[in-house]
Amino acid sequence: MNNRVLRRLNFATAYLEKMHQNDYDLLDLNMIERFYVEDKIHYPTSIAFERNNTMMSIRSDWTRSILNYKERYHIDERKLAYFGPVIRDNKTIIQAGAEMYEVESEDIIESISLHLKFISSQTEQPLTTLIMNDEALLDLYFDKYQLDFSIRPLIYDKNISSLADLLGKKHSLYQLLTQPVSQQFESIQAEFSGEGPVELINQLIDKLADLEMKTIVDLSFRSPQTYYNGFYFQIFLTENSPILSGGQYDKSAFGIGINLSNGGIV
């Protein structure tokens, strides 16, 4: 137990030093913060209480907390890094991570690469799988074929039979979704080569090629955090333990987090 505590603290120190060296500003926030209704929408199980006639809550998500902090104090820093606990479903989860604002594709790729190289230096376990999606990939199909927005939940739920009824089995999107996920991106590239979201994924795959991870693009893959609305990914040490995850939100923002709790790196 003591060894785990020391490993976690040593990891956090090394991580924050690495981020500082790469021009990230380090942030330390109180776990007790002002309550925002938007946070309750994203995390219905978050803990809220009243103090001195003001509604307060315990931090349940670093991304939301940092967004609220930026908006309240009008800070201008573009790259922020953090370490500390959050409370979800009455459990303490330890996280380290970073948030970036006004980002371009190159910033996202460099941040993911920086995090993966750091994690690889901290563990002897190989990184096995990268799973990713981008809401903009679906937008390409919806724009090209003038599809109704109501179809999206069927895609996320992998409701293939209903999609067959609505689209027909010869439709490009139906045929894509009935392929093995390992083959989906090849078909997407064939139809939308050169498009921005396709190029982002291509560039990321090229950047991370030396890590020899299995790479999957799955159009039905989504984050449990509903504020992510663009590119989203998870990276695994084992088949069921995501070690690193992150994605785009608020049009030009990007967040990335490392799991340091059960199933995580330490």
Residue with tokens 């750091």: 118
pLDDT one-digit tens code per residue, 7-25? 889 999 999 999 999 999 9
Q: Which amino acid is at 28?
A: D
Classified as helix, coil or strand, 57 is strand
Query: What would the two tokens of residue 144 be?
Result: 């090209």
| Residue 36: other Cβ atoms inside 10 A | 19
Closest CA to 235 of 89, 123, 82: 123
Q: Are 64 and 91 in contact (CB under 8 A)?
A: no
pLDDT one-digit tens code per residue, 196-243? 999 999 999 999 999 889 999 999 999 888 889 999 999 998 767 789
Cross-sheet strand order for the sheet of 253-259: 25-26, 79-88, 91-101, 253-259, 241-249, 231-238, 129-134, 214-217
Can you give the pTM of this predicted structure?
0.89
pLDDT one-digit tens code per residue, 80-137? 999 999 988 888 888 999 999 999 999 999 999 999 999 999 888 888 999 999 999 9
